[in-house]
Structure 1
Amino acid sequence: MDKPSRAASDTVFYGVLSCLEKQTFVPGQRLIEADLATAFGVSRNSIREALQRLVAEGVIELLKHKGAVIRVLGFKETMAVLDVAELMSGLLLRSASMNREAQKPRDVLEQSLQEMVDADTVRDDLSFNRSRRQFYRALLDLADNRELRRLFPMIGMPLVYAQYRLPSLQQIRIQDYRLFLDVVLHNRVDVAEDIGRRHVQNVRACICENYSRR
């Protein structure tokens, strides 16, 4: 794939993920190539390339007679995603906490967390999600692990959060991200992995409680 084609594919790939966060797209929704090409201003070939990437990362699936559809996670599938996310989050935070030198990502962590708190206060979900992405990018910068950077976005959490839009999840994030920040700023390597994993455990407990009420 040449650079212009890759850039166009990226526009669609990240655009679909962004639309999931904004609730412009929802799980189970059909994605029509012509509509996507118009919405993102790219060629049909670029749309197909992006859709194949989204299939590979488990965000969409190609169904006979329906085409590309945003994947709907069953409860068991959601738990499987969270099992992987728990391990990866522990590794991410432990790796990030070992970095004693890079100051800029630390500054970004502090700023992003404050922006999330501010966004939550005014119920600005778009700003909250944008700052959350910046927060995790800073953690990945601190972790400085190429494989982790490659694999972490593929876990499937965007689908989980798209299906479970629970107000309590946002509060869990803010509380746990404060612990993340403390771990990184004070290089608390000894507890980092446990705190990273506990965050996903908290998310799992919240989702399970919600599911049990249905």
Structure 2
Amino acid sequence: MFFGIMGGLELGSFVPGQRLVEADLATQFGVGRNSVREALQRLAAEGIVELPRHRGAVIRRLSLQDTLDVLDVAERMTGLLARAAARGSGDRAHAQALRAAVQALAGAGKAEKAEKAERAERTRPGEAFSGARRHFYRTLLEMGGNRELRRLFPTIHMPVVHAQHRLASLQQMRLADYRRIAAAVLAGDPDEAEAAGAAHVQNVRAAILAGQPG
């Protein structure tokens, strides 16, 4: 259920500020109430959900400053992730896995672009791209071999950031950034990889700020 809610944030089926009703979640995910409570406690511990007294669980809504704080951390962590991954570029299996991850991202992006052309009202990123994006980051983590980074990186609240700031420009921008990160990692250039990783989050920040009202 934990991963179901996290995935739902990416897909738009859960949104910041939404109240989470235990009975509804138990039915939706086919689990018992105890499992729901455990998942909500874990989400609360990671800052994804708030548990106000006598009001039930609510998905955290980020202020603009909260968003910028998350991006400050993500910028440094993504740069570190890419730098660490560049050390594993000499491993053929890792290199092949990263190339495949980028191809999956590109394929998912094309498929969803075609679907949007048929359904103009569709604005949220689709499941294929979200899954490919998660696989891309898992591949980088595996290449880096840094256990502490593997533990900390998933705790960054980027799913909440992307759920709250659904900008049409973000998916294509992210795909271009991921290609640059992968190219630097595969070239075995840790400085360029770190710069590309940090630049990706800088681009996300710029797009969010540009989308703010006057």
- TM-score when normalising by structure 1: 0.90
Deviations 1:64-110 (A, max 9, x none): 33210011101000000000000100110000001144333322222
Stretch of structure 1 that moved more, 103-112 or 176-185:
103-112
Q: 1:50 aligns with which of 15, 39, 48?
A: 39
- Alignment correspondent of 1:148: 149
Q: 2:107 aligns with which of 100, 112, 118?
A: 118
Q: Distance in 2 between matches of 1:46 and 1:154?
A: 21
Q: Distance in 2 between matches of 1:68 and 1:129?
A: 25
Aligned residues: 202
Distance 1:43 1:102, change over 3 A: farther
Which contiguous aligned blocks of 4+ residues in structure 1 show a shift greater than 4 angstroms? none
Stretch of structure 1 that moved more, 36-45 or 125-134:
36-45
Deviations 1:144-182 (A, max 9, x none): 111101110101000000011112111211111111111
Structure 2: tracts of 5 or more residues without a match: 116-125
Q: Distance in 1 between matches of 2:95 and 2:54?
A: 49
- Alignment correspondent of 1:23: 12
Q: Percent identity?
A: 52
Letter in 2 for 1:87: R
Q: Distance in 1 between matches of 2:65 and 2:128?
A: 30
Letter in 1 for 2:33: R
Once the two structures are superposed, the pairs formed by residues 18-167 of structure 1 within 5 Å of their partners are 18-123=7-112, 125-167=126-168
Q: Distance in 1 between matches of 2:83 and 2:62?
A: 29
Once the two structures are superposed, the pairs formed by residues 151-190 of structure 1 within 5 Å of their partners are 151-190=152-191
User: Secondary structure at 2:132's aligned position in 1?
Assistant: helix
8 Å contact 1:108–1:134 — kept in the other structure?
no
Q: Distance in 2 between matches of 1:89 and 1:65?
A: 38
Distance 1:175 1:100, change over 3 A: closer
Deviations 1:98-147 (A, max 9, x none): 11443333222222222222222232621011000000000000011111
User: Secondary structure at 1:161's aligned position in 2?
Assistant: helix
8 Å contact 1:34–1:44 — kept in the other structure?
yes
Q: Distance in 2 between matches of 1:151 and 1:188?
A: 23
Matched, 1:204 2:193: no
8 Å contact 1:30–1:68 — kept in the other structure?
yes
User: Secondary structure at 2:57's aligned position in 1?
Assistant: strand
8 Å contact 1:106–1:138 — kept in the other structure?
no
Letter in 1 for 2:103: Q
Stretch of structure 1 that moved more, 71-80 or 160-169:
160-169
Structure 1: tracts of 5 or more residues without a match: 1-11
8 Å contact 2:88–2:94 — kept in the other structure?
no
